[in-house]
Amino acid sequence: MSASPYVLRRPVENEHLVRERDRRRVRDLLRVLLLVTPLGLALLAYTWVHLEHLETAFQIREIEQELHSLERRERQLRLEAAYLSSPQRVQELAETELDLAPPRPDQMAFVEGETP
């Protein structure tokens, strides 16, 4: 291949060349950042609110389950208290375990009138 007569081969010395800033490019980059940043922040805010909503829903579900469990336990305890405090059971326990009997007539004292 032959060299063209119009092409001169010279060594390129560009050590001292400094690239000038393209102000239009910087301005365009700032425009893009100003448009994308609010959209990104809005997306992050929406995601955060959504995750907080989900976490709150899970907490509500756990609390409701605990409430139902406690209500069941309360019903059981009320039934047990009603059984344990029934007059027949109390009388039976007094007679069998404590050896108590109804008072005899000579053990009873009747008070007439009102007491101060």
The string of pLDDT tens digits covering residues 68-92 is 999 999 999 999 999 988 999 888 8
Kindly tell me if the per-residue pLDDT of 113 is higher than 80: no
Half-sphere exposure of 61 (CA within 13 A, CB side): 6
pLDDT for 10: 73
Which of 24-33, 43-52, 68-77, 91-100 has the lowest average pLDDT?
91-100
* Inter-residue contact 95 to 101 (CB < 8 Å): yes
| Domain residue extents for the chain | 23-99
Q: Would the pTM of this model clear 0.85, i.e. be above it?
A: no
* C-alpha to C-alpha distance for 102 and 87, rounded to whole angstroms: 14
- Distances in whole angstroms, Cα of residue 90 to Cα of each of 10, 36, 77: 119, 78, 18
